[in-house]
Amino acid sequence: MGLSVHLKKKVKGFNLDVAWEIDNELTVLFGYSGAGKTMTLQMIAGLLIPDDGFVRIDKTIMFDSNKGINVPSQKRHLGYVFQDLALFPHMTALDNILYGSDTMRKSERWERAREMIETFHLERLEKKYPAELSGGQKQRVAFARSLMRKPLLLLLDEPFSALDNPLRIEMRRFLRDIKNRFDMPIVLVTHDYTEAFTVADTIIIYSNGNVIQTGIPQNILDNPLSPEVEVLVNNSPLSYSSR
């Protein structure tokens, strides 16, 4: 299972033109604010339509401008965790987890929900509302919801940015556990240097709408290919957000 993209988009003077391919790994999109990282996730998910290019998951085409293919976002079978988590405040933790899985058979939904609750250690929290949950508990509910439908791919848009440092460290271990348990490609956007270089199998560095270097973390640290990458990897921690 892998993901291959070539995406072009012009928005208010900003030009995105990126192409990359990953296997079944945890990939981090990394770079300064406004580089186009979140825009990339939105186009992969079908929330934003590229001007040109393609999105392929394994051998399945989700978008191809030349072939006129654009699979609706709800049919792309992807998991997406937003920066603000997007939990519904009027729904319990259980109802948030179940949301969006109504195409599954009822018995399958409940069985899967129980599995998610056990996996993410949410027992006894099912009837609580988001306002009654801690930051880490909200994170786990959001991840459980994103994985309910057994997605082909998991997209994460700075999901840990609002957490304090001790919890962020815990969530990094949590993310590696998710990768090992669910065995699917994960694409993470993060503004956190340490997060990027400790959790990633592969890092893709963005700058001004382009990819300027790709590689495993240690290779990028040892061999930055441009002055800009050298500045990025030598300034830790970095305090910037994604586009």
Residue carrying structure tokens 């009822």: 106
168-219 pLDDT per residue, tens: 888 888 899 999 999 999 999 987 888 888 899 999 999 999 999 999 999 9
Average pLDDT, the chain: 90
Is the omega angle on the peptide bond into residue 237 within 30 degrees of 0, that is, cis? yes
What's 59's DSSP letter? T
pLDDT at 237: 47
Distance of CA 192 to the CA centre of its chain: 14
pTM of the model: 0.91
pLDDT at 133: 94
- Give the whole-angstrom CA distance, residue 107 versus residue 113: 10
- 66: helix, strand or coil: coil
| Share of residues in the chain with pLDDT > 90 (%) | 67
Closest by CA to 44, choosing from 59, 31, 28, 61, is 61
Q: How far is CA 74 from CA 60, 80, 201, 204, 212, in A?
A: 15, 11, 28, 26, 32
214-242 pLDDT per residue, tens: 999 999 989 999 998 988 777 644 433 33
Higher-confidence position of 53 and 160: 53
- The edge-to-edge listing of strands for the beta sheet with 3-11 is 14-22, 3-11, 52-57, 60-64, 69-70
Whether pLDDT at 41 is above 70: yes
